[in-house]
Amino acid sequence: MKKILVPTDFSTQAEQALKVAAQLAKKHKSEIYLLHMLELPLNLVDKANSGGSLPESLFFMKLAHKRFKEVLSADYLKGITVYETVLFQEAFDGIIEIANKNKVDLIIMGSHGASGFKEMFIGSNTEKVVRTSTIPVLVIKNENSKFTIKNFVFATDFSKECQKPFKEAVKFAASVKAKIHLLYINTATNFLTTTEAQEIMDGFIDGMELSNYSLNIYNDTSVEKGVLNYAQAIDADLIGMATHGRKGLSHFFNGSVSEDLVNHAKRPVITFKI
């Protein structure tokens, strides 16, 4: 984890994400790429990108750098290499572009808390990044003065296509020295006996070199509630899941972004692309 990208709009939520990035950067000697997107009207963007000395674009650029200066003076960033970037571009495109260009290992984004996450997440730039990024995305929803991950829940349907993102999750868990709890949610509509579920789980991890992990079957009325209730039961520090490109989450989550899960999870959520 050498490079971490943090998109910012200088909001409280963005600062919460940056504080987590700072803690991870200090632990792993990482660099932080702090990105602010100036989403100006198209006529202004064209002139700004063409080098035109448009007063409006210059004003917003200077304002952004002023805010950057304030942010970078924070004590929690001392000793960390931080690269600041301001782009005249749509936020989603800019985030993906900068992430790929700089070959970052992790994108950390802030969001509103549980009550406002649906409004922020669904249809937003955060949602687009989570669904399409080939790089893991960590979504921070609350203040984390001490971001320590001891118990990491990874929920999956144990399909073959989820093995790749799970391996990425295992690498992440190892990097933060967390125990990964591999989770299958049993529901009435997709019920498996304990023996059947155990066979599927054993086949899923066959050939993988795993050490600090557990296999778990949890019964609930829905997948979303099961993930949240299990995470609460073990006091998990992080919830992980696989994403399925533009189709949203894996078909384990009914082929689309699970609004209930992302809306009600009070814990950080990390996603890995299938």
What are the tens digits of pLDDT across the range 201-218? 999 999 998 999 999 999
- Token representation of residue 201: 């789980």
Helices of type H across the chain: 12-28, 42-49, 55-72, 91-101, 117-121, 125-132, 163-175, 194-205, 223-233, 259-264
Domain count, the chain: 2
In this structure, how many other beta carbons lie within 10 angstroms of the beta carbon of residue 105? 19
pLDDT band at residue 32, thresholds of 50, 70 and 90?
very high
Domain identity same for 162 and 245: yes
Domain identity same for 110 and 7: yes
pLDDT of residue 50: 53
The DSSP bridge pattern shows strands 137-140 and 269-273 to be: antiparallel
Domain identity same for 200 and 157: yes
Q: What CATH number did the domain enclosing 70 receive?
A: 3.40.50.620
Single-letter residue type at 190: N
Does residue 145 form part of some domain? no
Give CA–CA dist 46/49, Å, rounded. Answer: 5
Does residue 146 form part of some domain? no
Domain identity same for 171 and 263: yes
- The answer, yes or no, to whether residue 144 has pLDDT greater than 90, is no
Contacts of 216 (CB under 8 A, 6+ apart): 181, 182, 183, 184, 230
- The answer, yes or no, to whether residue 254 has pLDDT greater than 50, is no
Burial class (CB in 10 A: 0-12, 13-18, 19+), 245: exposed
Q: How many whole angstroms from its chain centre is CA 123? A: 16
Give CA–CA dist 133/96, Å, rounded. Answer: 7
Spatial contact of 221 and 230, defined as CB atoms under 8 Å apart: no
Domain identity same for 53 and 157: no
Q: Give how far Cα 74 sits from Cα of 34, 65, 69, 109, 179, Å.
A: 14, 15, 9, 18, 32
Domain identity same for 125 and 170: no
Domain identity same for 131 and 257: no
Structural domain including 62 reads: 3-140
Among 143-152, 158-167, 168-177, 240-249, the least confident range = 240-249
Residue predicted with more confidence, 127 or 153: 153
Domain identity same for 135 and 256: no
- Token representation of residue 161: 């296509």
- Token representation of residue 158: 């144990």
Mean pLDDT of 165-185: 95
Among 140, 174, 199, the domain-final residue is 140
Spatial contact of 79 and 26, defined as CB atoms under 8 Å apart: yes
State percent of the chain over pLDDT 90. 54
pLDDT of residue 256: 41
pLDDT of residue 245: 59
Mean confidence (pLDDT) of the chain? 83
Domain identity same for 136 and 216: no
Among 26-35, 61-70, 131-140, 207-216, the least confident range = 61-70
- The answer, yes or no, to whether residue 175 has pLDDT greater than 60, is yes
Give CA–CA dist 101/88, Å, rounded. Answer: 16
Give CA–CA dist 162/146, Å, rounded. Answer: 30
Q: Which of 77-91, 123-137, 241-255 has the highest mean pLDDT?
A: 77-91
pLDDT band at residue 51, thresholds of 50, 70 and 90?
low
Domain identity same for 33 and 119: yes
